[in-house]
């Protein structure tokens, strides 16, 4: 692994120019582009030599011979750590964030949702926010959707409109119709209760269950238990811009679309994992390409920051987008939003 210090000044200059141009054009960068737009006093032949060295070191790659160069994950890491210069967040962006977040008396989950939406609209990428976990979330609706094999997708909707998805295993064969009956039973039982109250109620019902002859109800209670077991203690509410109410998706019924959505949920759990990772460390975290640890995010980067009050980390938020996103602009955006959300939580 070649470290930043081992790079000559010239190589740093060229690398920075290549990445800047790549962020701007999204295409392979030619040696001529560098001499034209960035380093006018050098010839393209010189740049080619330097670029060839950088390629050997693993900072650049060529899609094909006779194409320009594209920066690698490694190059972006060096770039965000050493080369880029952060821009300050434009005043109009600050004002908009303040204006949206400052509406008094709004629910915490609304604030987080707004933050996610702001991050998305200002960055033009996908905004993410992990809500602080609160044991007082009340349940509005629960739904089971049968998947392949013995798996089911559980959808929990909280009173505040937060949607949560969990994948659980079913023991034995269950038809969708039976799952529907179970969910309506559980809805009746748990609707309006908080997570902690749900747990108590569940234990109580399980005790009474001995006298029930309906085996389906018995299974329903088991499912409820499984859901709570995985969901309540580590309840993570993720806000992904545009995904918060998937009941509106008509394609949810279609099998192919179902697979896609299911994959997106898979990613969602990975996203939670990433945000969790950044929560443990605190501050701003940047995951580039393969550093995210999952192949679905190849070519993507995540910029995440934690928010909280007086040293308590409550949650995290960030932006996920293509690896070539404009870090110098988005890092200050994420940072500012996280700080403001933290402040709002302290006051509210």
Partner DNA sequence: CGCCTTAGGGTTATCGACAT
Partner DNA sequence: ATGTCGATAACCCTAAGGCG
Q: Which residues bind DNA (CB under 7 A)?
A: 10, 29-33, 41-46, 48-49, 51-52, 55, 62, 64-69
Can you tell me the distance from the alpha carbon of 98 to that of 210, in angstroms, rounded to the nearest whole number?
55
CB 300 within 8 A of CB 288: no
Q: Which is nearer to DNA, 12 or 218 (CB)?
A: 12
* Four-residue CA torsion sign, 247, 248, 250, 255: negative
Q: Which is nearer to DNA, 6 or 41 (CB)?
A: 41
Can you tell me the distance from the alpha carbon of 334 to that of 46, in angstroms, rounded to the nearest whole number?
38
**Pairing, β 312-322 against β 126-131:** antiparallel
Q: Which is nearer to DNA, 56 or 107 (CB)?
A: 56
CB of 19 to DNA, least distance (A): 14
CB of 20 to DNA, least distance (A): 15
CB of 299 to DNA, least distance (A): 18
For residue 280, the tally of other CB atoms under 10 A from its CB is 10
CB of 258 to DNA, least distance (A): 30
CB of 69 to DNA, least distance (A): 6
Q: Which is nearer to DNA, 45 or 177 (CB)?
A: 45
Q: Which is nearer to DNA, 13 or 114 (CB)?
A: 13
CB of 71 to DNA, least distance (A): 13
Angle at Cα 302 formed by Cα 296 and Cα 303, nearest 5°? 175
CB of 18 to DNA, least distance (A): 9
Q: Which is nearer to DNA, 40 or 210 (CB)?
A: 40
Q: Which is nearer to DNA, 54 or 333 (CB)?
A: 54
Residue 162 neighbours by CB under 8 Å, 6+ apart? 109, 131, 137, 237, 239, 244
Give me the residue label for tokens 């996908």.
126
Q: Kindly write down the DSSP assignment for every residue of 68-133, as one continuous string.
A: -BEE-HHHHHHIIIII--PPPPPHHHHHHHHHHHT-TT--HHHHHHHHHHHHHHHHTSEEEEEEPP
CB of 53 to DNA, least distance (A): 9
Can you tell me the distance from the alpha carbon of 302 to that of 304, in angstroms, rounded to the nearest whole number?
6
CB 128 within 8 A of CB 238: yes
């Amino acid at each position: 692994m070649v470290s930043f210090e081992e790079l000559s000044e010239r190589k740093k200059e060229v690398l920075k120019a290549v990445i800047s141009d790549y962020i701007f054009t999204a295409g392979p960068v030619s040696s001529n582009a560098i001499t034209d737009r960035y380093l006018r006093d050098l010839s393209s032949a010189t740049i080619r030599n330097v670029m060839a060295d950088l390629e050997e070191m693993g900072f650049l790659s060529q899609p094909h011979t006779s194409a320009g160069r594209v920066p690698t994950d490694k190059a972006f890491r060096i770039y965000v750590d050493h080369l880029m210069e952060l821009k300050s967040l434009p005043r109009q962006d600050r004002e908009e964030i303040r204006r949206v977040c400052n509406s008094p008396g709004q629910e915490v989950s609304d604030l987080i949702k707004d933050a996610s939406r702001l991050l998305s609209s200002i960055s033009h990428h996908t905004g993410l926010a992990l809500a602080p976990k609160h044991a007082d979330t009340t349940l509005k609706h629960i739904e089971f959707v049968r998947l392949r094999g013995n798996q089911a997708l559980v959808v929990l909707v909280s009173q505040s409109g937060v949607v949560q998805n969990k994948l659980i295993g079913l023991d034995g064969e269950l038809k969708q119709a039976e799952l529907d009956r179970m969910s309506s039973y559980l809805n009746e039982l748990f609707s309006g209760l908080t997570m902690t109250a749900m747990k108590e109620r569940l234990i109580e019902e399980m005790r009474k269950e001995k006298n029930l002859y309906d085996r389906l109800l018995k299974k329903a209670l088991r499912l409820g238990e499984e859901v709570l077991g995985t969901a309540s203690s580590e309840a993570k509410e993720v806000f992904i811009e545009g995904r918060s109410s998937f009941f509106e998706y008509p394609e949810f019924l279609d099998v192919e679309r179902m697979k896609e959505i299911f994959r997106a949920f898979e990613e969602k759990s990975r996203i939670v994992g990433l945000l969790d990772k950044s929560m443990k460390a605190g501050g701003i975290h940047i995951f580039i390409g393969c550093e995210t640890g999952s192949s679905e995010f190849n070519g993507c980067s995540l910029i995440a920051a934690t928010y909280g009050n007086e040293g308590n980390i409550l949650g995290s938020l960030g932006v996920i987008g293509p690896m070539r996103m404009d870090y110098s602009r988005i890092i200050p955006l994420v940072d500012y939003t996280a700080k403001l959300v933290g402040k709002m939580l302290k006051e509210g």
